[in-house]
Amino acid sequence: MELVCPAGNLPSLKAAVDAGANAVYAGFGNATNARHFTGLNFDRATLEQGIAYAHRRGCKLYLAINTYPQHSGWKQWQAALEGGAELGVDAFIIADGGVLEFATEHFPGIRRHLSVQASATNVDALDFYVTEYGVERAVLPRVLTVRQVERLLEQTPVEIEVFGFGSLCVMAEGRCYLSSYVTGESPNTCGVCSPAHAVQWREDHGTVRTLLNTVLIDTQAPGERVGYPTLCKGRFSVNGQLGYALESPVSLNAIELLPRLFEAGVAAVKIEGRQRSPAYVQRVSRVWRRALDACCANPDAYAVSDDWLTELAQLSEGSETTLGALHRPWQ
């Protein structure tokens, strides 16, 4: 199984490669990329440096062009594909059918991976993308159980990539409209939820009020950690009780399921976190490298180290982890 790690900027890319990533995924600093946060991502010059750094160390680079273009902005998506091809990326990660068609026609020699943003969760969907666009790998949404993943692998020849660690979302990937509802900009087309221009922090005697486009979504007491605000992880008063009405901050951690994913034939495990720091990327990648090596060497004898769990818990949202949809004991 490949270990696919996030690269939100050049330092994070280097940290992931040095920690043992088999591949890193990155995007340009524009709306073609679903992690289009201010201050992150790559221009042509830094991406060229990143590709060279990765390739010298035997690591691949996948370029995420995984948002949905509008007609007026098509040339930006076309330029991203052309730029990635010229620089020598190892694969495109794409969600939109039009972008896939352009890549298939103009750059047939570059692998096409189906983005999680396409939300392909069944065999018919996967077969469609394979037949129409020659997709060689699909990144599955984080809504399937392990058994559902296994069944897909029994029925499709396409490589399957699953998320192993990182932030979760209550929405099906590629289908979220919460940010659009509050800010007028959808992550599906603009590349970011909670765009920076809509975010405000107001401090009063140590108390921080977090607003998204004038909507109060959280209040932090003095000394309480303040994260980047998203509507789904805001705290609201419902029937007189204050709490996380939509989703609690918690991270997916599927490290204990590695033997089962390995035996099922999963091609790659993906770490979420292109918006995270280089230190975060390094630590998570290092733990997962050790775990994958141990699993692939002897899946029957695989055992999760307490040290791995301790370190990953420190790096998770809310200092909590979950198996998410992968484990549904009632099914």
What whole-number distance in Å separates Cα of residue 67 and Cα of residue 204?
Answer: 38
**CA–CA distance from 117 to each of 76, 96, 101 (Å)?**
19, 9, 16
How high is the pLDDT of residue 192?
84
Q: Output the six-digit token pair for 46.
A: 């830094």
What whole-number distance in Å separates Cα of residue 175 and Cα of residue 319?
Answer: 27
DSSP, res 237? E
How high is the pLDDT of residue 224?
82
**CA–CA distance from 76 to each of 31, 79, 230 (Å)?**
8, 5, 26
What whole-number distance in Å separates Cα of residue 116 and Cα of residue 284?
Answer: 21
What whole-number distance in Å separates Cα of residue 217 and Cα of residue 173?
Answer: 22
End-to-end CA distance of the chain: 27
CB 77 within 8 A of CB 69: yes
What pTM, to 2 d.p., does this model score?
Answer: 0.93
pLDDT < 50: residue spans in the chain: none
- Four-CA torsion 65, 71, 76, 77, nearest 10 degrees: 20
**Length reported for the chain:** 331
How high is the pLDDT of residue 151?
95
**117 Cα distance to chain centroid:** 9
pLDDT digits (tens, 9 = 90+) for 45-94: 999 999 999 999 999 999 999 999 988 899 999 999 999 999 999 999 99
Helix, strand, coil proportions of the chain in percent (round to 5)? 40, 20, 35
How high is the pLDDT of residue 18?
98
| Domains contained in the chain, CATH given | 2-168+250-326 (3.20.20.70), 188-244 (no CATH)
